[in-house]
Each structure stands twice: as structure tokens, then as C-alpha cells.
Amino acid sequence: MTAEACSFAEDRIIIMAAPNGARRSQADHPALPMTAAELADNAVALRDAGVSVLHLHVRDDNRRHTLDPATYRTAIAAIRESVGDDLVLQVTTEAVGLYTSGEQMAVVRALQPEAVSIALREICPTRAAEPAAAKFFAWLRKKGIWPQVILYSIADVRRFDALRQSGVFADASPFVLFVLGNYADAVAGRVADLERMLAAATPEAWPWAVCCFGAEEHAVMCAALATGGHVRIGFENNLLLSDGTTAPDNAALIRQFVAVADKGRRRPASAAEIRQWQGL
């Protein structure tokens, strides 16, 4: 990891919010935001709770996952009207079995967002896909778009590090998100899963964050706080507070974590600080 990234993480922690995801609906929780207006309202509450990065999923008119650029633009405009530049807006390229890697790249090229979240296994599924992925990451760097590379398994971690060292990401220290557990198979993440991910990685070589499906989300976030990582929290991954009760909204999950973070040396980073760090 660069000296600048190490210095940033020593006394600051990035709190990202993932308020909806691609699969859950208001049948799962009535406060899960689906429309542009609901996302904009959530953005205000999340900012006020301590969030600096909003991980953004959008839905079509039937409330299904979409990567449609026009739908994204509508949501981004509504959020910006509500919070201005107080949040870094990170769009997702999550495929959910609907989009190819080429289509995912095309969406990002059309949007040219401030930040983007990209699953390694989707954007670069095979060795044959590596040249196109390298070209795409070089374009992101040229455009000043901040990528976050999502890793779901230890195999992903090892492949990521090999590709990093070979220069595929156009950055010696790309920002990584470890995903613990999954929604599709109802597998809950654990603190031990994070420990295994870090043991398989070289966490001193790049900045990292973690998200966790299931009730152990808060415990995992506290572990990340203690070990130099950043966090992503929200209804995409978990609906429960640490006491096992259902959170009333996304902001309650954030406030629960901030109450712990405020007692330590690492304070929540602002969007402005992240932009300066990443050159956005």
C-alpha cells in the first residue's frame, strides 16, 4: 500500500452504505429504497449518520435490477439535488446473471461516474478476458474514475493479487472489497471469514473494505475498524442490529457502527477527504 493510503487509514475510516442491493425488495423491509426519490431521501439520512460513499443500485419500472444508464442518471440527479457533493456516488456493475462483462464496461463508459464497484469474476472471468479488463482499468484511471474491485473468495484474492502485480488494474494499490457470505444461498458471513481473507491476501499492499451478509455484519465491521480496513454497511447485506432486532432503516445500522468508531482513533472520513486521496 502506498504511504498515502496507509496514512489515510491510520486515523480515518471510509463508511460506505449499500442501502438496497440488486435482489431485496420492500417485502423484505418496507424502508428499503427502490425509487430515485427513496434513494435521495436515504442519502440524506445516511450522510447525516456518517456515510461518505453511497453504493448505488437502481431498479427499472418493475423494480428489477438494471444497469440502464438513463435510470442511473435519474437516480444520481435526485441524490445530488438532496445532498450535493456530500457523498461520493459509487455505481455498481453487478451482473445478477443479466449482463456480460462487455455490457458492464459499456455502462460505465456511458455514465463516466465518480466511482464504480466491479466484481473481478464478472469483469474479468477468464484469462482470455484479461487484455480487455486491463484496457478498461487503464481507461478508468485516465478518466479519474475510482474503481473498487470486489472479491468473493480466497481464490478471487489470489487471482486479484497476481493480476495486480502484472499491471492489469493500472494501479499498484487498487481498492478492494471483500464480500463475506452471500444472498443467493443465504450464507452468513463471519469474522473468521475476514481473517481467512486477510491471511490469503497481502493487506498491507492495498486499501481494503469489507461487507458481510447476515447478522454478524456489525462484528465484522468492528474487526475491520481494528485492523485497518474500511466498511460497507446496509440493507443489501443485512437487516439486523447487533442485538438481533430488525433495524428501522439503513441509517440505524450506520449509527450503530459510528458509535463504536467514535471511541477509537479512526474517525469517519468525509467525501471531500476521499476525493482528495483518490484524486477524483
Instruction: For residues 240 and 39, give the distance between their C-alpha atoms in angstroms, rounded to a whole number.
Output: 20
User: Given pLDDT bands bounded at 50, 70 and 90, which one contains residue 4?
Assistant: low
The share of the chain scoring above pLDDT 90, in percent, equals: 85
pLDDT beyond 70 at 5:
no
Tell me what pLDDT residue 226 has: 93
Tell me what pLDDT residue 205 has: 79
> pTM of whole model > 0.75?
yes
Q: How many CA atoms lie within 13 A of 257 on its CB side?
A: 35
How many domains in the chain? 1
Q: Do the beta carbons of residue 214 and residue 193 sit within 8 Å?
A: no
Tell me what pLDDT residue 97 has: 86
Q: Render pLDDT for 35-83 as a digit per residue (tens, 0 to 9).
A: 999 999 999 999 999 999 999 999 999 999 999 999 999 999 999 999 9
- For residue 108, what is the domain's CATH number? 3.20.20.70
The whole domain housing 150 covers 3-278
Q: What would you report as the CA-atom Rg of the chain, rounded to the nearest whole angstrom?
A: 17
Answer with the residue of higher pLDDT: 184 or 234.
Answer: 234
Average pLDDT over the chain, rounded to whole? 93
pLDDT beyond 70 at 235:
yes
User: Given pLDDT bands bounded at 50, 70 and 90, which one contains residue 204?
Assistant: confident
* DSSP states along 111-179: H--SEEEEEHHHHS-SGGGHHHHHHHHHHHHHHT-EEEEEE-SHHHHHHHHHHHHHTTTSSSS-EEEEE
Q: Render pLDDT for 71-122 as a digit per residue (tens, 0 to 9).
A: 999 999 999 999 999 999 999 999 888 899 999 999 999 999 999 999 999 9
Burial of residue 279, with CB atoms counted within 10 A of its CB: 0-12 exposed, 13-18 middle, 19 or more buried: exposed
In the predicted model, what is the mean pLDDT of residues 188-199?
93
Instruction: Extract the C-alpha cell encoding 257.
Output: 457502527
Q: Do the beta carbons of residue 231 and residue 209 sit within 8 Å?
A: yes
In DSSP terms, 176 is beta-bridged to 149, 208
Q: Render pLDDT for 133-158 as a digit per residue (tens, 0 to 9).
A: 999 999 999 999 999 999 999 999 99
